[in-house]
Structure 1
């Protein structure tokens, strides 16, 4: 085994049950033998050297390229072993600290997300095959953190609860105009139009998502209430009663926060309400994970609240509520990872083995960061005046409860209709 890699692992892994087989065939065990065993096999000396010098990038790259295999356990187990030894007092090589420090120092250069660059960055990820996303997302194609009101919720139930949670914070009422910045596959916009007869404009930079969401609006007969456009939010001039943005702020970039909030302030009516839902970090500002930035979300950045709130204060908007969602995304990613792995062969048929390895590491690594590191989600409610909303949060819970009853009734009616359709089909088949 590469001597530098060996010394790093010896110092790092004090707890756990890790075995590493080097490219020359020799094996060593690390840790105190507790927990589920993880066995990593290095296929090349190149991978050993690269991981020793830059583990945050080289480890997932080597896994993608087949230079590393995990023959016992999985990626999530390997990352759990690493993270449980990297807490307070944990070991980290001086040069890896320096490397991450440089990445943090140059993070603004990596996030120059102009209009044209933002479109290219979005296309890199969100214009992948829709069939691939269907392999692991819920039926409504929600590609953001779900809201687990109960630990036994299914993914579909938790994503529906997320939409209720956001609608309640928006204090939705019938007939309002709504802007959805980064509208995805249209699920939230359709929900607001369907339940509140809202006039919704969803904007996205993804051609694939725009096509799917537009088709969905027409299929439901909601095209007169909700429409989706390929537009950058910076080019909008209309004003709205409500603005919502879910899972898009991570792509804005710290250089553009001021422009984002100032634009939202001009688009929001004086008595309007905005809800921003984004991934964040509990710790101080830090560089985007090198693997995620290079392969998954180019131009992306996960902010600390200390970077967001000062900009809001200067934008003409005021914060009326903040909620931190801690383990909700870890549970969401667990569902996604398990679904993706169950459909891995189908994903491989759409793309290839390297793509599957990349997404396996991405989903497991993201789950690990929310479960054992400092990642979280925040929801910030914003207004332009401090008298727009009730002075207690009770209205949120009341609205959520009412929406839950409405959603349950709708689900029951859909199930009855499906059962009746199946019954008619059986009768028809029996008659033949």
Structure 2
């Protein structure tokens, strides 16, 4: 009964938030799932030649390769051995995919409710070696931000899997009671009840997968799934636990996990790697919220003007030297922020349509905006050791480092 009341209360809160957007609108955007049976869905994984990106999502770097998520559809593999002239070489069809992580040539990818494992030791002969079924929240269907409502009337949660969304404009008064006014959160009851020489890839701040030693940590909207990957080709779901409210991103630093949610940042310690322990939560107003950490400070971007809840967009600097009591140190106004990254004294912030912004960290708290690359759209960024990679508007950008600046290397159009 408590569980039912919790779910109903979530819907009530989310419904009231959406009603405040604009009661005078005559039309609203309704997202209707496009789906297949679970049996058909699990036969759809394939390795094919490169193809255009439909909607670029997150990026991931491993050795001389860059992996680009095609939202809910699969992963594009880019040969980046020459950063000035990258080349698309493979595409892995993975319906329902948003995130990947790689360790020692084993690629782990979500596929809606499942975890799929690939051996990529021979990039020209990639093979699927494992699939763990029903290990993730049913939630892992990320609803488009522009959707005001979702219509699941023809969808069977027991037998079907969502592979895409159809967006339609409908009169507000025609939105029937069976269309849930929410942000796409549904629950799967079953889920809610090495070595120093290892080669692990690098994701951006929008990632929900993190590898630490012999464990793969994954986070959904409300739960964290922990996989033991000591046997890389045969991961074991070791634990699933409640993670927090509306979790969107995860960042690992110094044996702690930092979970970015729409209303704050959760901190978990990894003293027991199989059971991350809750330490504290930093609460802010609602906003889409990736986070990165460097030393005693965390940097969060909050994007307003969308389904996440607020109008204002900011960069927050959080003092985390006392992990049990994180506090706001400073706040900077932004326009449309998404991902961010740190290298040395520089903080790189993807400010959406306002471009890529470069901040010099005079101190961890006092930031100076030294440059804005404003003729691009910036969504996610990864500061690698020898270059900066960024994605936005289906284009992969790369830059070399200068002192307190960067220099353009290439722009690779993905569509």
TM-score range, shorter chain: under 0.3
Q: Which structure carries more strand by proportion?
A: 2
Q: Which structure carries more helix by proportion?
A: 1
TM-score of the superposition, structure 2-length normalised?
A: 0.27
TM-score of the superposition, structure 1-length normalised?
A: 0.26
Decide which structure has the larger Cα Rg and report it.
1
